[in-house]
């Protein structure tokens, strides 16, 4: 059976900051509709990898292609079909939730913007937050806002950094359900980071493990656990964290 053409193709991705190699010769693919989990201890190179995939920083070496296009040459075309959400980014605090989503939608040139805002607010249980100033939101509410901003553009690729951090368990459960359903109906591809290993096993089709900038393991959660001769992914994570 032929595998579908990857929507993300990364080859020999390397980033050096002076004498420090943050990402070292990393290669991987993401296929249409696939969720790939990227794990590793702090300092493993996850954030730097995300920044290169978004075109925020330039690789020292290697290539990044999305939809068959080279990222440096076709950055604007590619990024119109890509979005990013992280617990660690902020939104303009003086705007309400609705105003933030409206501004983000206009920057992307979205049509039918009011419908999209209403739809994403309903799906992420944000209706009561509509006119709340962003500076008054809890950390969990801010996480939902950044996720809403990302999915409102209906991307084909979504990069998620700790998407359920700071959320109550019931809200986290709802967001994971939303992401699963959205992926099922839209064919969305996701690159996903989290320190919650149970969540990674639940959400990811494949796992990539980074340590000291190198890709040291790749496969299903079951494959990775078997390779490390451990009982579950959480034990694998603890092992690689101690080794780093």
Share of the chain above pLDDT 70, in %: 99
- CA–CA gap between residue 219 and residue 208 (Å, rounded): 7
Quickly state the pLDDT bin for 217 (edges 50, 70, 90): very high
User: Which whole number is the average pLDDT over 173-180?
Assistant: 91
Longest dimension (CA), the chain: 53
pTM reported for the whole predicted model: 0.93
Q: What are phi and psi of 37, to 5 degrees?
A: -95, 130
Quickly state the pLDDT bin for 3 (edges 50, 70, 90): low
- Enumerate long-range contacts of 200-203, CB under 8 Å, 24 or more apart: 200/37, 200/39, 200/233, 201/232, 201/233, 202/176, 203/35, 203/37, 203/176, 203/179
Count other Cβ atoms within 10 Å, centred on residue 110.
Answer: 17
Which tens digits make up the pLDDT trace of 139-167? Answer: 889 989 999 999 999 999 999 999 888 78
Map out the domains of the chain as residue ranges. Answer: 1-79+157-165+188-244, 82-154
Architecture of domain 1-79+157-165+188-244: 3-Layer(aba) Sandwich (3.40)
CB 244 within 8 A of CB 212: yes
CB 104 within 8 A of CB 95: no
| Polymer length in residues for the chain | 244
Which tens digits make up the pLDDT trace of 112-129? Answer: 999 999 999 999 989 999
């Amino acid at each position: 059976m032929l595998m579908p053409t990857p929507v993300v193709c990364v080859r020999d991705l390397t980033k050096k900051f002076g004498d420090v190699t943050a990402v070292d010769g990393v290669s991987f693919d993401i296929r249409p509709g696939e969720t790939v989990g990227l794990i590793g201890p702090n300092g493993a190179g996850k954030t730097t990898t995300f920044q290169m995939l978004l075109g925020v920083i330039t690789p020292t070496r290697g290539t990044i292609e999305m939809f068959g296009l080279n990222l440096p040459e076709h950055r604007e075309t590619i990024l119109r079909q890509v979005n990013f959400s992280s617990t660690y980014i902020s939104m303009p605090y003086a705007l309400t939730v609705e105003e933030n989503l409206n501004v983000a939608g206009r920057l992307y040139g979205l049509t039918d913007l009011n419908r999209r805002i209403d739809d994403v607010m309903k799906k992420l249980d944000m209706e009561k937050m509509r006119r709340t100033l962003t500076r008054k939101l809890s950390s969990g509410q801010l996480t939902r806002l950044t996720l809403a901003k990302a999915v409102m553009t209906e991307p084909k690729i979504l990069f998620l950094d700790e998407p359920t951090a700071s959320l109550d368990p019931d809200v986290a459960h709802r967001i994971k359900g939303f992401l699963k359903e959205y992926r099922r109906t839209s064919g969305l591809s996701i690159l996903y980071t989290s320190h919650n290993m149970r969540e990674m096993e639940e959400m990811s089709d494949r796992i990539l493990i980074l340590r000291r900038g190198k890709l040291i393991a790749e496969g299903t959660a079951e494959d990775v656990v078997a390779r490390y001769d451990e009982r579950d992914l959480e034990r694998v994570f603890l092992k690689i964290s101690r080794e780093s």
